[in-house]
Amino acid sequence: MGGFVRLEVADGIGTIRLDRPPVNALNAALQEELLEAAKAVTTDPAVRAVVLHGAGKHFAAGADITEFTTVTYQEMVAQSGALSGVCDALARIPKPVVAAVTGFALGGGCELALACDWRVVAEDVKLGLPEIKLGLIPGAGGTQRLARLIGPAKAKDLIFSGRMVDSTEALRIGLADRVAPAAGVYDAAVELVRPFTTGPALALRAAKQAVDGGLNLDLASGIALEAHLFAGLFATDDRVEGTTAFVEKRAPKFTGS
């Protein structure tokens, strides 16, 4: 991808690795490379699932605040959509995506993790949205995705206070899905998505579209979206294989088509 983001593909899993020591601060260049990586895994048929991981000890400690000290309102109006666009691109990857989170995931780093389908975190992790302490609020989807994930009351607690949470609290409130020793977080994330690499790719894509798209719709519209996506899968080879395998009492061999 470039100097700050690496994309590695092996056994159907694409690993997007942030690599800007020491804390993977999300400067403009890293954001551009991350957007490119999200687009690459979206279109690469060899990638069936994705792991987002931070090289070194930390996932991402947020935006590069040194870039904020002199920026004007007019400049920020033009720039404010950049990291939000990166998070949106991650959220729209039509494949299972898991964040493997070690060390700090703060501010924009936490927002990147929120854009993934799951979060596997280290036992000593620290997660939070501390923007309020800078006189700001989360600006890349944090107020919206966190409230949808853990509920508005808990989200307001974290956003209003700017406090960090540890792995125990993150798991309890639903901000984390699994906890592992720091040295095993990446492997645990890979194991979470590995089963999907041989699954029905188009059905998994449709399932993600139905869940994520339905969250922004009323119930009737969400059900209509689901029905549309369900019917569309009858045009896939994997639907033929899956139903035939069921009738023949054998394991299906999906091809992703």
Select which of 8, 32, 33, 131 is catalytic. Answer: 131
Token pair of 238 as six digits: 């994997």
Residue whose token pair is 């109006």: 77
| Alpha helices (H) along the chain | 28-43, 73-79, 81-91, 108-114, 142-150, 152-161, 167-173, 185-193, 201-214, 219-232, 237-247
Task: Please tell me the distance from the alpha carbon of residue 41 to that of residue 6, in angstroms, as a whole number.
Answer: 12
Chain centre to alpha carbon of residue 159: 19
Alpha-carbon distance values, 242 to 15, 47, 195, 205, 252 (Å):
28, 21, 16, 16, 5
**Farthest CA pair distance, the chain:** 67
Select which of 67, 75, 111, 123 is catalytic. Answer: 111
**Is 169 designated active site?**
no
Edge-first strand listing for the sheet containing 178-180: 5-10, 13-18, 49-54, 97-101, 118-122, 178-180
Q: Which residues contact 103 (CB under 8 A, 6 or more apart)?
A: 23, 54, 56, 57, 58, 59, 61, 122, 124, 125, 126, 182
**Is 131 designated active site?**
yes
User: Which are the catalytic amino acids?
Assistant: 111, 131
